[in-house]
Structure 1
Amino acid sequence: MKLREGVEWAVHCCINLSWISPDRAVPAARLAAFHDLPTAYLNKQMNALGRVGIVASRSGPRGGFRLGREPERITLMDVATAIDGSAQAFLCTGIRHHGPAGTITGPAADRTTCTVAQAFSTAELAWRRQLADRSIAELADTVRRANPAAPDQVRRWFDRP
């Protein structure tokens, strides 16, 4: 499964926003500067998160983004789907019915599920469940345990003019 870099960026921004006061909005330019990312592209990712309620935005001089719900209620699957969509990673085109393979017969040749499609579907379902089982709060806590100063450093950095 391949996810675009925007998913990584969005998850990092959500972790950072989880450490900022929920009544404070952070401009996309500041979020982008924190990881030296292009503002315009990050803004597109943040707007995608906003369309599904992961973040909320506020316009104006004190505008920007904040989490739209508690970090415990935002999963990695939520973020991945907001950025990359929900289309299946593997699509069976039914090639087992084409060419000489299409002439293979048996009692259930046309009624069975494609073994290849079934294998990929099972793997994708496991992958999606793993992402759905991990929250932004959980990742933020893992980062905090590895670097206890991280939340305060993030808050101080975003408080700078």
Structure 2
Amino acid sequence: MQYSVGVEYALHCLVYLIPNESAIGIKELAFFQGIPETYLSKIFTKLTKVGIISSVPGVKGGFKLARDPGDISFWDVVEAVEGKKPIFQCQNIKDKGYLYRDRDCSDCADSSCTINLVMLEAEETMRSYLQGKTLSWLEEELDRVLPAQRRKDTRAFFAKGNSTNAGE
């Protein structure tokens, strides 16, 4: 199982929206992270569609969190970017096997697939874990593990308003 890099891009960029009162543009986020602006725009369209962020129109427009960071879990971001389909796609191949091939097993007592049940339980465990990790948690964790000056410099970059000119 592998999530697309879009989940990583989304989580990294969403954390920058937390402390800011003003909206942040795609250009600033893409420039700061060194990621493709067009791809980030597609990810932000998905995040907007599910109500994680909102678009702010105008010259000073961009994006803001649409909900409190404590109400946005990693799982919310995964589902927004990757979609809601289950990770494991059971094809029920046991019913195509030799013992079941010529029988109608719609009412068989052992018709549930043990493999599917285990995989669904594993996915539920991961979902539960990621639902417990929110953007607020991430913000606190970054404050704990990153140097204070780096956090200060990051906030200053986005507070400038003309941050895409930083490389000029």
Scaled by the length of structure 1, what TM-score is found? 0.90
Query: Which consecutive residues of structure 2, in runs of 5 or more, have no partner in the other structure?
Result: 163-168
Per the alignment, residue 121 of structure 1 pairs with 120
Q: Using the alignment, how far apart are the partners of 1:58 and 1:2 within structure 2? A: 32
Q: State the AA in 1 paired with 2:5.
A: E
Q: How has the CA–CA distance of structure 1 residues 128 and 50 changed in structure 2, closer, same or farther, with 3 Å as cutoff?
A: same
Please say if residues 144 and 150 of structure 1, whose CA atoms lie closer than 8 Å, have aligned partners that are also in contact.
no
User: 3-state DSSP class of the match of 1:149?
Assistant: helix
Q: Percent identity?
A: 30
Per the alignment, residue 8 of structure 2 pairs with 8
Query: Which consecutive residues of structure 1, in runs of 5 or more, have no partner in the other structure?
Result: none
Measured after TM superposition, the shift of residue 110 of structure 1 is 2.6
Q: Using the alignment, how far apart are the partners of 1:127 and 1:150 within structure 2? A: 31
Scaled by the length of structure 2, what TM-score is found? 0.86
Pairing 1:132–2:131 present: yes
Per the alignment, residue 165 of structure 2 pairs with none
Deviations 1:72-94 (A, max 9, x none): 11000111111111100112111
Q: Using the alignment, how far apart are the partners of 1:53 and 1:74 within structure 2? A: 10
Q: Using the alignment, how far apart are the partners of 2:27 and 2:99 within structure 1? A: 55
Poorly superposed stretches of 4+, deviation over 6 Å: none
Please say if residues 77 and 128 of structure 1, whose CA atoms lie closer than 8 Å, have aligned partners that are also in contact.
yes
Please say if residues 20 and 159 of structure 2, whose CA atoms lie closer than 8 Å, have aligned partners that are also in contact.
no
**Larger displacement relative to structure 2 (141-150 or 122-131):** 141-150
Please say if residues 19 and 154 of structure 1, whose CA atoms lie closer than 8 Å, have aligned partners that are also in contact.
no
Q: State the AA in 1 paired with 2:124.
A: L
Per the alignment, residue 75 of structure 2 pairs with 77
Q: Using the alignment, how far apart are the partners of 2:82 and 2:44 within structure 1? A: 13
Q: State the AA in 1 paired with 2:37.
A: T
Describe how 1:8-157 pairs up with structure 2 within 5 A. 8-21=8-21, 24-102=22-100, 110-112=108-110, 113-147=112-146, 148-157=148-157
Deviations 1:114-152 (A, max 9, x none): 011011011001011111111011011101111233432
Q: Using the alignment, how far apart are the partners of 1:20 and 1:40 within structure 2? A: 23
Q: How has the CA–CA distance of structure 1 residues 64 and 158 changed in structure 2, closer, same or farther, with 3 Å as cutoff?
A: same
User: 3-state DSSP class of the match of 1:141?
Assistant: helix
